Amino acid sequence: MMKSQIVNRVLLLACLLFTPFSFASDEATPAKPQYSYYTLAPDITTNYVTQGKRLGYLRLQVDLMVIDPSLVKIVEEHAPLIRDTIITIIGQQPEAKVKSLAGREEIRQACLDKVNELLIAETNQKLLTELLFTKYLYQ
Protein backbone atom coordinates (compact mmCIF):
# COMPACT_ATOMS: atom_id res chain seq x y z
CA MET A 1 0.00 0.00 0.00
CA MET A 2 2.83 2.34 0.74
CA LYS A 3 4.40 1.62 -2.66
CA SER A 4 1.17 2.39 -4.53
CA GLN A 5 0.86 5.76 -2.77
CA ILE A 6 4.40 6.66 -3.77
CA VAL A 7 3.79 5.57 -7.37
CA ASN A 8 0.56 7.61 -7.47
CA ARG A 9 2.34 10.70 -6.15
CA VAL A 10 5.20 10.32 -8.63
CA LEU A 11 2.71 9.95 -11.49
CA LEU A 12 0.76 12.98 -10.28
CA LEU A 13 3.97 15.01 -10.02
CA ALA A 14 5.04 13.90 -13.52
CA CYS A 15 1.66 14.90 -14.94
CA LEU A 16 1.91 18.32 -13.32
CA LEU A 17 5.44 18.89 -14.56
CA PHE A 18 4.71 17.98 -18.18
CA THR A 19 1.27 19.57 -18.54
CA PRO A 20 1.36 23.11 -19.99
CA PHE A 21 -0.57 25.64 -17.97
CA SER A 22 -3.13 27.70 -19.87
CA PHE A 23 -2.50 30.87 -17.86
CA ALA A 24 1.15 30.94 -18.96
CA SER A 25 0.13 31.30 -22.61
CA ASP A 26 -2.34 34.13 -21.90
CA GLU A 27 0.53 36.56 -21.43
CA ALA A 28 1.84 35.88 -24.93
CA THR A 29 -1.46 36.61 -26.67
CA PRO A 30 -2.15 40.28 -27.40
CA ALA A 31 -5.02 42.00 -25.62
CA LYS A 32 -8.27 42.26 -27.53
CA PRO A 33 -8.80 45.81 -28.82
CA GLN A 34 -11.40 47.88 -26.97
CA TYR A 35 -12.55 50.30 -29.64
CA SER A 36 -13.89 53.65 -28.51
CA TYR A 37 -15.44 56.57 -30.36
CA TYR A 38 -15.15 60.32 -30.10
CA THR A 39 -17.76 62.48 -31.84
CA LEU A 40 -16.72 65.91 -33.02
CA ALA A 41 -19.26 68.34 -31.63
CA PRO A 42 -20.91 70.41 -32.89
CA ASP A 43 -21.49 69.06 -36.41
CA ILE A 44 -19.27 70.47 -39.14
CA THR A 45 -21.06 72.81 -41.55
CA THR A 46 -19.00 74.10 -44.46
CA ASN A 47 -19.09 74.99 -48.15
CA TYR A 48 -17.91 73.02 -51.13
CA VAL A 49 -17.06 74.05 -54.71
CA THR A 50 -20.09 74.51 -57.02
CA GLN A 51 -20.76 75.78 -60.54
CA GLY A 52 -22.08 79.32 -60.85
CA LYS A 53 -23.08 81.73 -58.09
CA ARG A 54 -24.86 79.20 -55.89
CA LEU A 55 -23.11 78.06 -52.69
CA GLY A 56 -23.05 74.41 -51.74
CA TYR A 57 -23.35 73.46 -48.08
CA LEU A 58 -22.35 70.24 -46.40
CA ARG A 59 -23.23 69.26 -42.85
CA LEU A 60 -21.29 66.39 -41.29
CA GLN A 61 -21.26 64.54 -38.05
CA VAL A 62 -17.88 62.90 -37.67
CA ASP A 63 -17.07 60.00 -35.35
CA LEU A 64 -13.44 59.09 -34.74
CA MET A 65 -12.66 55.49 -33.80
CA VAL A 66 -9.60 54.64 -31.69
CA ILE A 67 -8.33 51.21 -30.69
CA ASP A 68 -7.99 52.01 -26.99
CA PRO A 69 -10.19 54.15 -24.69
CA SER A 70 -7.09 55.91 -23.31
CA LEU A 71 -6.53 57.52 -26.73
CA VAL A 72 -9.87 59.36 -26.67
CA LYS A 73 -8.43 62.06 -24.39
CA ILE A 74 -5.57 62.73 -26.84
CA VAL A 75 -8.00 62.90 -29.77
CA GLU A 76 -10.20 65.30 -27.80
CA GLU A 77 -7.23 67.59 -27.17
CA HIS A 78 -6.56 67.72 -30.93
CA ALA A 79 -10.21 68.18 -31.96
CA PRO A 80 -9.69 71.75 -33.30
CA LEU A 81 -6.87 70.54 -35.57
CA ILE A 82 -8.99 67.60 -36.76
CA ARG A 83 -12.00 69.85 -37.42
CA ASP A 84 -9.89 72.35 -39.39
CA THR A 85 -8.34 69.59 -41.49
CA ILE A 86 -11.74 68.13 -42.43
CA ILE A 87 -13.14 71.58 -43.29
CA THR A 88 -10.10 72.32 -45.48
CA ILE A 89 -10.41 69.04 -47.38
CA ILE A 90 -14.16 69.44 -47.98
CA GLY A 91 -13.74 73.04 -49.09
CA GLN A 92 -11.59 71.82 -51.99
CA GLN A 93 -14.06 69.18 -53.25
CA PRO A 94 -16.18 69.64 -56.39
CA GLU A 95 -19.96 69.31 -56.22
CA ALA A 96 -20.05 66.05 -58.21
CA LYS A 97 -17.69 64.37 -55.75
CA VAL A 98 -19.60 65.60 -52.70
CA LYS A 99 -22.91 64.30 -54.08
CA SER A 100 -21.74 60.87 -55.25
CA LEU A 101 -21.41 57.81 -53.05
CA ALA A 102 -17.95 56.93 -54.39
CA GLY A 103 -16.86 60.54 -53.99
CA ARG A 104 -18.07 60.61 -50.39
CA GLU A 105 -15.93 57.55 -49.65
CA GLU A 106 -12.89 59.18 -51.31
CA ILE A 107 -13.43 62.31 -49.19
CA ARG A 108 -13.78 60.22 -46.01
CA GLN A 109 -10.58 58.30 -46.78
CA ALA A 110 -8.71 61.53 -47.60
CA CYS A 111 -9.85 63.00 -44.27
CA LEU A 112 -8.73 59.89 -42.37
CA ASP A 113 -5.32 59.84 -44.05
CA LYS A 114 -4.66 63.56 -43.58
CA VAL A 115 -5.88 63.63 -39.95
CA ASN A 116 -3.72 60.61 -39.07
CA GLU A 117 -0.75 62.23 -40.81
CA LEU A 118 -1.18 65.40 -38.73
CA LEU A 119 -1.75 63.48 -35.49
CA ILE A 120 1.43 61.45 -36.08
CA ALA A 121 3.32 64.74 -36.48
CA GLU A 122 1.77 66.04 -33.24
CA THR A 123 1.81 62.92 -31.04
CA ASN A 124 4.27 60.51 -32.71
CA GLN A 125 1.58 57.82 -32.91
CA LYS A 126 -1.24 56.81 -35.22
CA LEU A 127 -4.37 57.49 -33.19
CA LEU A 128 -7.32 56.92 -35.51
CA THR A 129 -8.41 53.49 -36.63
CA GLU A 130 -11.36 54.88 -38.57
CA LEU A 131 -13.07 58.18 -39.37
CA LEU A 132 -16.81 57.86 -40.01
CA PHE A 133 -19.36 60.26 -41.45
CA THR A 134 -22.40 59.40 -39.33
CA LYS A 135 -24.41 62.31 -40.76
CA TYR A 136 -23.87 63.58 -44.28
CA LEU A 137 -26.29 66.20 -45.59
CA TYR A 138 -25.59 68.37 -48.63
CA GLN A 139 -27.50 71.16 -50.31
Give residues with Cβ within 8 angstroms of 46, minimum separation 6: 57, 58, 60, 87, 90, 91
How far is it, in rounded angstroms, from Cα 48 to Cα 58? 7
Position 33 confidence tier, pLDDT thresholds 50, 70, 90: confident
**119-132 per-position pLDDT tens digit:** 999 999 999 999 99
Mean pLDDT of 88-97: 94
For domain 36-138, say whether CATH 3.30.428.10 is its number: no
Residue 115 has pLDDT above 50, yes or no: yes
DSSP 8-state class, residue 26: H
Report whether pLDDT(13) > 70: no
